[in-house]
Structure 1
Amino acid sequence: MALGYRASDADITIIKTALKDNVVVGDIVPYTLKVINNKAQPANIKIKDILPAGFKFVNGSSRVNGKKVMDPKGGRTVTYDKVSLSGNGEMVISYMLVVGSGVTQGEYTNTAMALNSLTGKVVSNIAQATVTVTSDPLFDNALIFGKVFVDKNGNGVQDEGEEGLGGVKLITVRGEIITTDAHGRYHLVDVSGGRWERGGNFVIKLDPRSLPKEYRVSGRNPKVVRVSPGLPSKVDFGVIEVQP
């Protein structure tokens, strides 16, 4: 099937618009299709619309010139049948899609065209609209938090009576520097959680130069923690007193 028409030489011109540029999973995206008959004769057509992968049609959202109509048939490819345009006439079709839960970050394009109702021949330009799915900090990013504490018994766990150590610096592979508060606590937000199906690794290191001279790190340094989208991960660092 030939798909090479330009808007200027096609019988029908379609102008497709997404009313949002950047979206996240769960967002509803309104779309419009302006359909113009470039001929003086009436046109009987159908509109074929290929939805972006993972986007779902919002039931009951179809409108023609602002008036509610039946939703089109189909799954990912939907079709508005029996569309009639007067000579040099035009109409605006609008509907909404929801970004599905399995959609990952990236660009997603919606493609529409007009077909002759009898022959199925493409009689319009190929109209497209693209939206960008971005990360949602609440669901796509992870949180790292923890404490630097004086590990008096050297067991790597903060026990009762083992106080936090303030003013200690931690460094990430992204170049971020975090300083613990007066109680030895720290946190790091907007950490990439990796892909939904497997998560990712995050590396964080305690800067030993920021410790008081009588302390050194006990246990591993740096530490690698497994992170997952939307979930917090705790990373503590114990320090022990150096014997004179």
Structure 2
Amino acid sequence: MSGAVLWTHTTSATTRPVLPDGCTDLIWSEGRLLVAGPDTGPHLPDAAPPGTRHTGLRFAPGQGPAVFGVPARELRDLRVPLADLWPAAQVRELAGRMAAGGAPGRVLEETAVARLRAAADRTASGPAARSAPPPRSGRTAAIAAALDRGHPVAEVARAVALSERQLHRHCLDAFGYGPKTLTRVLRFVRALGLARSGMPYAHVAACAGYADQAHLAREVKALAGAPMGVLLGSG
């Protein structure tokens, strides 16, 4: 499924926080289906016994709303049961398939693809037929790409033919937060990747688009709740 990443995780004795990345997730764990909204800060998962297995499908920024059926702003910084968003019978049927099959990731992918196709069909039928957010549009993808490259908000708005106020509303619905916050989150993700590659922090700051290393340190602490060294496991 283009734009989505399938992942698995087995809990250990040490619980690490989930860091902001602009994404949303559909998660299967311990017989439950959960939705993880876009985070604005570190999220510490609920405690689970060591050895607990989680399987998730992580959607690219702007892709989740069409799958979940609600604007991303309604899921910001939340973990909610899928049954709060979809009809209970549909969630029970999906949970039954997940429990009975040996490939939960494949079931998650098939379900997401079906939801995106249904959203595309609603969009093609016209505005009157829409009952949920449309699929990730070319405009949404262009906004995410431009903000990820560090383009100013006013420039991005002009490029996608929206006013800055319209752009802000679009970003709240598609990504869960406004364009400035999305820029900060995507820049943080880029910086963390560079730091994990072994790049010195001063070079990370320059390559990721921070004013200087002190600016990088402040933003990392604000978004992740810990210094970069701790995130990398060296502090």
TM-score, length-normalised on structure 1? 0.22
Q: Please identify which structure carries the higher helix content.
A: 2
Q: Please identify which structure carries the higher strand content.
A: 1
Q: Max radius of gyration: which structure? A: 1
TM-score, length-normalised on structure 2? 0.23
